[in-house]
Chain A
Amino acid sequence: MEFSLRDAGVRVGLEIHQQLDTGRKLFCKCAPADPEEHPVRFQRVLRASRGETGRYDAAALFEESKARTVTYLAGPGSSCLVERDEEPPHDLDPDARQLILMISCMLHSRVFEEVYPMRKTVVDGSNTSGFQRTMLVAQGGHFEVGGRRIGIQSVCLEEDAAKILDGGYGLERLGVPLAEIATEPFAAERGFTREVAQGLGRILRSTKRVRRGLGTIRQDVNVSIRDGNGVIEVKGVQQLDMLEKIVEFEAARQTGMLDVSRRIKESGWVHDAGDRINITEILAGCGSKVVARALEKGHEIWAVSFGSMAGIFGYTPYEGVRLGREVAWLAKLFGIGGIFHSDELPGYGITEADVGRIRKRLKCGTGDAFIVSAVPGGMADALLDAIVGRIESVRDDGIPADTRLATQDGQTAFLRPKPGAARMYPETDIPPLYIAPEELGEARDMAPKSWDDSVRELQELGISAQLAEQVYDSRHADLFLDTVRDTNVSPAFIASALCYTITSLERDGLDSGRLSDEMASETFGLLDSGRISKESVEIIFREIMAGKSRTVQEAIDNASLQAMDSPELRRIIGSLVEDHMDLVRSQGERAIGPLMGMAMGKLRGKASGQTINDMLSKAIRDGLE
């Protein structure tokens, strides 16, 4: 089925999280830099606590039901006792305070006279304290995108969370100041959502005090459809390119779930405790590798029947939208990979005969559905409760109130239940901020030039308007300006290396995260001093982004890029011409075409194309004489 954003009445709200570049954390003076090692390691157990209504927050409780001990890793300089939750927060970063007021003014948002630091409960382990410190600074406001006015809902100043590393959460990112800006919902149109995100990003970047680079800006997107029952928040869209794909998938998913909901209602299915049965014995000898592996680990195999629901788990109204997939994701959050539903069986090594035995044991007919899952002992109840609860929620609510996660392939997956109001309470360790009119006036006066003016400035350095826009939007604007200032390399070459070359290498699947600003800067320096040729820049970037070399020097060595001195070049080119004198004699000076190809093959990166071309034509002329 084709999905149409307009027909479904899709509305989108964006939430942009941008790290502020103030050189320190929001509540201590540690530097937001990645440490080389993490010598400190400790473990904590986070417990859900009751919210203000005496109820546990659904999201918090869900995380706790996954019961895990969290390991934290800390390195020198980038965290202290504050991040370890071993010391109360220090004074608020005054630069971050000024910056957030400035951003609020740029968005015409109404700043509150008193701003209260709050604690937002987060028990997924990404905050050592179990909450995120956040403050609502301003509400309302707007900005223009392509002639349309986009409303601003809120401007918050908050702490970034810890970063997932191998073996635990790293504290280097925890506490980095973040501006969180939420837009009012707007009607989604292909192309426009991206423009809105880009426009907001540009406003933030125009302050020149936001962090650039991978992971320094993240988007959450709130998606709703006309017939749906609320807004679904999708977290963690890292790349702007994925934004629209994710919006479309999520809207299609919501539309599809309404359809699934209707089908479940029609089936008349109601869960009964007797529908759950331990079938470990039935599948003990079956040919499924998944089942065999689970049994080796001592897991139990459980099945649940769903009366009259045959066909519903596998029903796929849109690509990737399936009840079976929703259930599988939920199981995955419990750390359980092996879950099958009857619409995909026989399969995965489970035979027709196995299916027959399961149906018999569950007392279900061909009109009924069932799921089968391998679970570690003691976890069956928690998992099956969650799965049955989810299917009931689809039946009763249509679209369950989730917080979802953007996946790598542009889809969305269940992350946790939507947090309730029980989630936020005052941070009593920090007094409220009083924003005097004078302070706000100062911030307003400091607001920077618009995006247009900034792009014009870049153009004045001698690059085209299109390239100037790309430099501005890339994460390399500062590196570009620094390199233009510090070297004599042509600005157009620097800009195109930073925008086109890196992007094209990324498209080849290479990781630009491996190429630091320092490495790029070093490469341009070598070019400036004539130690490498222009052609070598791309080769060095490729070596590093592919992970084959860890330093610029290593890349030069690995690709044998050291620029050759002229006598050596002349010798190689001379012998090339000598070896092909037949060609030179028969074609005359036109022999330069094929010979140039051969020469470049031997000498790429060791000298510029121009130099090789000049020497080659001279050698041909000499040969002819």
Chain B
Amino acid sequence: MPDYKGYSGGSLRLLQDNGISVGDQVRIAADGEYSGIVMPRYEHSDGSHVTIKLENGYNVGLAVSRISSIRKTDMPSMTHAEEAPAEKRAGLPKVLLLSTGGTIASRVDYRTGAVTPVLTAEQLNASVPELASIAEIDARMLFSEYSENMTPANWLRIAEEIAGEADSEYAGVIVAHGTDTMHYTSSFLSFALAGFPRPIVMVGAQRSSDRASSDAALNIIGAARLAARCSQPGVYVAMHQDSNDGAIACHAGTRVRKNHTSRRDAFETIGGKPAFVVTGESIMRNMQGGYYQTEGFWPRIRLDERVALVKYHPGYDPAWVDRMTDGKYRGIIFEGTGLGHVGNTMYDAIGRAAESGIFLGMTSQCIRGRVRMTVYESGRDLLDLGITPLDDMIPEVALVKAMWAAGCTRDAESMRGVMLEKVASEASF
């Protein structure tokens, strides 16, 4: 089956008429002679150019209208180097690596620039040779999704996979994940797998691993050190502590947030220091006490997606809240202003939502600090309407916890009970 990836219109016809497909070595006359390999075109490209990789390595596009001839030539044989077998050293702790997609566990097809997931422990060890001296790693690929395409169904899948390893020989579990929604997943795992007896370390990368400057290798080395050597159960997110290739901050999974679009140190622990910092061989602990507040491992891998996160702003249309009420939502988490407020235009809609048995929780869009709804009159009004203040819980964490709580309970009152019960260091109440 010939491959014409990305080609359409005139350029597709030109290739078909000349029996040429993507990957073929060709010679093209177009106001000059060019030899190279026909490259796939990007999805959004037009149908009037042919892209080739010249012998000097550059890609260029030639207009079909200027091509007077194109013919296939003999392909110089391209040999692919053998994958070096993963080195195994006896006596090292065993660590399970689950790959879910994202920049971290992927590598680049240098011909096309496309990113493909790393599939095996061999490939992983080949790309980060230091891992072989830290742990004996088993790699499993669960799925390959960009972070933004991750759904609650994916969270359930990851949680079930990990829950099955509670009694295994693994010292810890690493979850390679896209960074954009990594803190939502870390929150869900914290609640659904509360009390899991070993560290679960989530890891991502802000710079793709095709580049020599990628943060992927150091992040995964830090994650592996924590997973192999730290016996403290919990869910952590391991990423660069600052712009240097030095320390890896391991943040508590319910207290972390992505606070920059692109920097290596985008992840920050809100209102505190990272739980652990891995620098070279050393692991420094900042976390006081344990991560989980529950007794024993009690997996509750359930959720109900009918929960909304509402960011209140001046001019917010309360009709949206009514629509959620009509749509039988189980919960609404407000990202209110300041100490936890929404405007009085919202009161009627909030009252109706509360009456129909929807759990209503309040967090702050300030991100840092806690809500205090007794300070101002509007806060007291909202308390009267039945809104539950969620202390210093991060809005996204409150949303995930509410989905999980909705999955574990039948009514607003018991959901409220779960929300106010501290499970995994998610708030300071």
| Pairs A–B under 8 Å by Cβ, sample size 8 | A45-B218, A49-B211, A81-B263, A128-B213, A129-B213, A131-B212, A425-B113, A428-B113
A423 to chain B, nearest CB (A): 6
Task: Please determine whether A53 and B80 come into contact, CB atoms closer than 8 angstroms.
Answer: yes
The listed residue (A44, A113, A120) touching B49 by CB distance below 8 A is A113
Known A45-B245, A81-B262; contact A130-B63, beta-carbon cutoff 8 A: no
Complex Cα gap A116–B264 (Å)? 27
B23 to chain A, nearest CB (A): 12
Known A85-B213, A113-B61, A114-B61; contact A52-B109, beta-carbon cutoff 8 A: yes
B32-54: contact bitstring with A at CB < 8 Å (1 yes, 0 no)? 10100000001001000101001
Interface residues of A (CB under 8 A from B): 42-55, 60, 69, 81, 84-88, 110, 112-116, 118-121, 123, 128-131, 134-136, 139-140, 154, 156, 421-428, 431-432, 434
A175 to chain B, nearest CB (A): 14
Task: Please determine whether A43 and B60 come into contact, CB atoms closer than 8 angstroms.
Answer: no
Given A44-B245, A114-B63, A425-B110, 14 other A-B residues pairs in contact with their CB atoms under 8 A? A49-B108, A49-B210, A81-B262, A86-B262, A112-B60, A113-B61, A113-B63, A116-B60, A118-B57, A128-B213, A130-B214, A136-B58, A139-B34, A421-B55
Complex Cα gap A558–B357 (Å)? 88
Known A69-B245, A85-B207; contact A130-B212, beta-carbon cutoff 8 A: yes
Which chain B residues border A427 with CB–CB below 8 Å? 113
Which residue on chain B has the smallest CB distance to residue A153? B56
Query: Which residues 375-391 in B have Cβ within 8 Å of A in the complex?
Result: none
Complex Cα gap A81–B212 (Å)? 17
Which residue on chain A has the smallest CB distance to residue B260? A86
Which chain B residues border A128 with CB–CB below 8 Å? 213
Task: Please determine whether A43 and B244 come into contact, CB atoms closer than 8 angstroms.
Answer: yes
The listed residue (B42, B78, B81, B212) touching A46 by CB distance below 8 A is B212
Which chain A residues border B51 with CB–CB below 8 Å? 114, 116
B239 to chain A, nearest CB (A): 13
Task: Please determine whether B58 and A118 come into contact, CB atoms closer than 8 angstroms.
Answer: yes
Q: Does B66 contact A (CB under 8 A)?
A: yes
Which chain B residues border A140 with CB–CB below 8 Å? 32
Count of interface residues, chain B, beta-carbon cutoff 8 Å: 49
Q: Does B18 contact A (CB under 8 A)?
A: no
Which residue on chain B has the smallest CB distance to residue A125? B212
Task: Please determine whether B262 and A44 come into contact, CB atoms closer than 8 angstroms.
Answer: no
Report the tally of A-B residue pairs with Cβ distances under 8 A.
Answer: 131
The listed residue (B45, B80, B245) touching A43 by CB distance below 8 A is B245
The listed residue (B54, B110, B244) touching A422 by CB distance below 8 A is B110
Which chain A residues border B79 with CB–CB below 8 Å? 53
Complex Cα gap A50–B80 (Å)? 11
Complex Cα gap A428–B42 (Å)? 10
Complex Cα gap A42–B215 (Å)? 14
Complex Cα gap A47–B217 (Å)? 9
Complex Cα gap A53–B244 (Å)? 31
Which residue on chain A has the smallest CB distance to residue B58? A136
Interface residues of B (CB under 8 A from A): 31-32, 34, 42, 45, 49, 51, 54-63, 66, 78-81, 83, 107-113, 127, 207, 209-214, 217-218, 242-246, 261-264
Known A49-B210, A123-B212, A432-B42; contact A426-B243, beta-carbon cutoff 8 A: no
Complex Cα gap A609–B113 (Å)? 70
Which residue on chain B has the smallest CB distance to residue A40? B243
B65 to chain A, nearest CB (A): 9
Known A110-B31, A119-B211; contact A424-B58, beta-carbon cutoff 8 A: yes
The listed residue (A131, A425, A432) touching B111 by CB distance below 8 A is A425
Which residue on chain B has the smallest CB distance to residue A113? B63
Complex Cα gap A136–B36 (Å)? 14
Chain B contact residues: helix, strand, loop or mixed: loop
Complex Cα gap A60–B211 (Å)? 11
A231 to chain B, nearest CB (A): 13
Which chain A residues border B217 with CB–CB below 8 Å? 47
Known A115-B60, A116-B59; contact A130-B213, beta-carbon cutoff 8 A: yes
B248 to chain A, nearest CB (A): 13
Complex Cα gap A44–B242 (Å)? 11
Which chain A residues border B66 with CB–CB below 8 Å? 113
Task: Please determine whether A114 and B212 come into contact, CB atoms closer than 8 angstroms.
Answer: no
Task: Please determine whether B263 and A87 come into contact, CB atoms closer than 8 angstroms.
Answer: yes
Which chain A residues border B78 with CB–CB below 8 Å? 53
Complex Cα gap A55–B108 (Å)? 13
The listed residue (B111, B211, B242, B243) touching A130 by CB distance below 8 A is B211
Task: Please determine whether A110 and B32 come into contact, CB atoms closer than 8 angstroms.
Answer: yes
The listed residue (B57, B62, B81) touching A112 by CB distance below 8 A is B62
Task: Please determine whether B62 and A113 come into contact, CB atoms closer than 8 angstroms.
Answer: yes
Which chain B residues border A154 with CB–CB below 8 Å? 56
Which chain A residues border B108 with CB–CB below 8 Å? 49, 425
Which residue on chain A has the smallest CB distance to residue B107? A50
Which chain A residues border B213 with CB–CB below 8 Å? 44, 46, 85, 128-130
B124 to chain A, nearest CB (A): 13
Which chain B residues border A112 with CB–CB below 8 Å? 60-62
Complex Cα gap A135–B58 (Å)? 7
Which chain B residues border A426 with CB–CB below 8 Å? 59, 112-113
The listed residue (A43, A53, A421) touching B246 by CB distance below 8 A is A43
Which residue on chain B has the smallest CB distance to residue A139? B32
B16 to chain A, nearest CB (A): 20
Known A47-B217, A118-B57, A421-B57; contact A87-B262, beta-carbon cutoff 8 A: yes
Which chain B residues border A121 with CB–CB below 8 Å? 212
Complex Cα gap A60–B302 (Å)? 49
Complex Cα gap A45–B261 (Å)? 22
Which chain B residues border A423 with CB–CB below 8 Å? 57
Known A53-B79, A136-B56; contact A114-B110, beta-carbon cutoff 8 A: no
- List 3 tightest A-B contacts by C-beta distance, closest first: A114-B61, A130-B212, A52-B110
B390 to chain A, nearest CB (A): 33
Task: Please determine whether B49 and A114 come into contact, CB atoms closer than 8 angstroms.
Answer: yes
Which residue on chain A has the smallest CB distance to residue B263? A86
Complex Cα gap A193–B169 (Å)? 70
Task: Please determine whether B210 and A425 come into contact, CB atoms closer than 8 angstroms.
Answer: yes
Complex Cα gap A69–B66 (Å)? 49
The listed residue (A53, A60, A84, A431) touching B212 by CB distance below 8 A is A60
Which chain B residues border A47 with CB–CB below 8 Å? 212, 214, 217
Task: Please determine whether B110 and A51 come into contact, CB atoms closer than 8 angstroms.
Answer: yes
Complex Cα gap A509–B249 (Å)? 52
Complex Cα gap A42–B264 (Å)? 12
